[in-house]
């Protein structure tokens, strides 16, 4: 039930854009996105609910296609502070959130 | 407002021993989830508790168990430790009550368990 994330790792220069994809084999109630910096706890970014909505704040946004059971996280004009591992969490059923293996994003000057 | 607190921060055990990890959720949160994090495997769901009841369980052997107390604090126990149990164990709390879980998780800093 673990969602599949791609790519596994990506290196960007400051100002470049990136897309992280997340797909599930099961129908989903929602998709969550979290970022974990090295040695720290994962921190919530956003939740997307059924309805194909797109959400975002600052230069990080995401979309959710419930028919395809896919979500994408968009990072535009990347900053050094965006570095970390991004996890998508999918909720195929009540009260159990399954996370992908993560995408390691490195932003270099 | 205090965050999610996990103790201890580090643990070193030997194979065959058992271990108990503790998690104190954010005040008011009644849902507590546990995850195992290892390199390459991401965050693996262990179980989720709400008001002292286990609502969901991941695909882990019976050596992994947990419980939640009336004050929402939670413990997880691993018996007969194996080398492969070495991992960072994260606990997360949320307001989540009903279906679906439209509430964000607040994670603790984790307990790093090393099994020798």
H, E, C per residue of chain B: CCCCEEECCEEEECCCCCEEEEEECCCCCCEEEEEEEECCCEEEEEEEEECCEEEEECCCCCCEEEEECCCCCEEEEECCCCHHHCEEEEEEEECCCCCCCCCCCEECCCEEEEEC
Subunit contact A47:B55, Cβ cutoff 8 A:
no
- Chain B contact probe: residue of A2, A6, A41 with most B CBs at under 10 A: A41
Contact present, B48 and B32 (Cβ < 8 Å): yes
Per residue in B20-77, pLDDT (tens digit) is 999 999 999 999 999 999 987 889 999 999 999 998 888 899 999 999 999 999 999 9
* Shortest Cα–Cα distance, A40 to chain B (Å): 6
Of A44, A95, A101, the CB nearest to B96: A95
Binding-face residues of B in 57-116 toward A, CB within 8 A? 58, 90, 96, 98-110
Q: How far apart are CA B100 and CA A95, in angstroms?
A: 7
- Chain A contact probe: residue of B43, B45, B51, B88 with most A CBs at under 10 A: B43
CA atoms within 13 A on the CB side of A72: 9
Q: What is the mean pLDDT of chain B?
A: 91
Subunit contact A42:B90, Cβ cutoff 8 A:
yes
Among A102-106, B62-66, B81-85, B99-103, the least confident range:
B99-103
Per residue in A29-69, pLDDT (tens digit) is 788 999 999 889 999 999 888 776 666 767 899 998 888 88
Subunit contact B101:A97, Cβ cutoff 8 A:
yes
Q: How far apart are CA A22 and CA A71, in angstroms?
A: 5
* Shortest Cα–Cα distance, A101 to chain B (Å): 4
Q: pLDDT value at position A66?
A: 84
């Amino acid at each position: 039930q673990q969602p599949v994330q791609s790519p596994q790792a990506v290196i960007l220069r400051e100002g470049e854009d990136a897309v992280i994809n997340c797909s599930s084999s099961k129908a989903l109630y929602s998709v969550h996105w979290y970022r974990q910096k090295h040695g720290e706890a994962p921190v919530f970014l956003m939740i997307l609910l059924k309805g194909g909505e797109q959400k975002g704040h600052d230069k990080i946004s995401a979309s959710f296609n419930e028919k395809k059971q896919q979500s994408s996280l968009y990072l535009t004009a990347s900053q050094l502070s965006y570095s970390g591992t991004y996890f998508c969490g999918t909720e195929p059923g009540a009260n159990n959130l399954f996370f992908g293996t993560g995408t390691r994003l490195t932003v270099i000057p | 407002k205090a965050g999610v607190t996990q103790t201890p921060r580090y643990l070193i055990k030997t194979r065959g021993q058992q271990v108990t990890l503790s998690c104190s959720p954010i005040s008011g949160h009644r849902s507590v989830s546990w995850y195992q994090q290892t390199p390459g495997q991401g965050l693996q769901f262990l179980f989720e508790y709400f008001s002292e009841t286990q609502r969901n369980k991941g695909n882990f052997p019976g050596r992994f168990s947990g419980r939640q107390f009336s004050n929402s604090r939670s413990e997880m126990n691993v018996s007969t430790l194996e080398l492969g149990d070495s991992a960072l164990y994260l606990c997360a709390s949320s307001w989540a009550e009903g279906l679906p879980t439209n509430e964000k998780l607040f994670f603790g800093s984790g307990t790093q368990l090393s099994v020798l």
